[in-house]
């Protein structure tokens, strides 16, 4: 079953920030990376996806008319298949960010195994 809250598959501009970031950063710290390091306008409505060093968490940041939206996903077991590159930034599609969030390696289209839990304790 898909989550009801997801980045739109029709987003025209989606960027993966390829270096890991400190996940204590919230929308202010992440938007500062977008503006200061990348030279992009964080208020332009583009989605920026970030991961941590362990590659088991993703934060997506985008501006939606009157405020920032911060989407956060943390994996219980596996790691996200984050692309490797010498570049700082990689442009992908709205469909690809959703595949990545679903656990797919977007270069090979192989998913994570599905997990089923009964309790958090």
**Digit-coded pLDDT (tens) for 20-59:** 999 999 999 999 999 999 999 999 999 999 999 999 999 9
Task: Give the residue, 115 or 24, on which the prediction is more confident.
Answer: 24
Q: Which domain holds residue 65?
A: 14-101
pLDDT at 3 over 60: no
Q: Is 3 inside any structural domain?
A: no
19 against 103, higher pLDDT: 19
pLDDT at 110 over 70: no
Structural domain total, the chain = 1
Residue 6 counted as domain residue: no
Higher pLDDT, 95 or 49: 49
Burial (CB < 10 A; 0-12, 13-18, 19+), residue 115, is exposed
55 in a structural domain: yes
For residue 26, tell me if it sits in a domain.
yes
Looking at the domain assignment, is residue 5 inside a domain?
Answer: no
Q: pTM, whole model, 2 decimals?
A: 0.82
Cα end-to-end distance, the chain, whole Å: 23
- Name residue 48's beta-bridge partners: 15, 61
Taking the C-alpha atoms of residue 52 and residue 80, their distance in angstroms, rounded to an integer, is 10
Can you tell me the distance from the alpha carbon of 110 to that of 103, in angstroms, rounded to the nearest whole number? 8
Interatomic CA distance for residues 34 and 70, integer angstroms: 14
Place of tokens 């990376």: 33
């Amino acid at each position: 079953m898909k989550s009801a809250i997801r980045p739109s598959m029709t987003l025209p501009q989606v960027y993966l920030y390829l270096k890991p970031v400190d996940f204590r950063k919230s929308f202010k710290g992440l938007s500062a990376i977008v503006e200061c390091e990348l030279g992009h306008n964080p208020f332009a409505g583009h989605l920026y996806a970030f991961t941590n060093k362990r590659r088991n968490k993703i934060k997506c940041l985008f501006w939606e008319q009157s405020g920032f939206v911060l989407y956060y996903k943390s994996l219980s077991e596996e790691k996200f298949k984050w692309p490797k590159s010498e570049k700082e930034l990689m442009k992908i599609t709205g469909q690809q960010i959703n595949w990545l969030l679903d656990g797919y390696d977007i270069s090979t289209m192989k998913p994570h195994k599905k997990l089923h839990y009964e309790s958090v304790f």
